[in-house]
Amino acid sequence: MHIKVLRCESCGTLDPGPRDLCAACQSDKLVLSEAPGAGALVSWTTIRRAPTRFKGQAPYVVAVVKLDAGLIITGRFSGTEENLRLDLPVEAVSEDEGAYTFAEKAS
């Protein structure tokens, strides 16, 4: 699965967005693009007392993933909490309203 990102037409920098100007060169020539959804887990936390909107979904894991394309994005982790470890290979498995869910990458 691919992740929707912004790509600057002026300098080629990828950005998770949303934003109006490129963080690298300040150009306004950002276009919607895609990046592979594979990466590695760099941080995570378990939400046990969720905000009202997500109350029925707790507990759930929020993961910070460094994509192989170089971007760092936040999403949910779907899988066994006991398997979580730094640099765990993960991949995007679903998207809901711009929010991605990651799972441990199959070997």
Q: What is the CATH number of the domain that holds 93?
A: 2.40.50.840
3-state secondary structure of 28: coil
Domain count, the chain: 1
Q: Does this model's pTM top 0.85?
A: yes
Instruction: Say how many Å lie between the first and final Cα of the chain, rounded.
Output: 16
Determine the structural domain holding residue 25 and report its residue range: 2-104
Give the pLDDT confidence score for residue 98 in this predicted structure: 82
Give the pLDDT confidence score for residue 14 in this predicted structure: 95
Short-list 84, 96, 94, CA closest to 104: 84
- Which residue intervals of 1-107 are DSSP H helices? none
- pLDDT per residue rounded down to tens, the chain (107 residues): 999 999 999 999 999 989 999 999 999 999 999 999 999 999 999 999 999 988 889 999 999 999 999 999 999 999 888 889 999 999 999 999 889 999 999 87
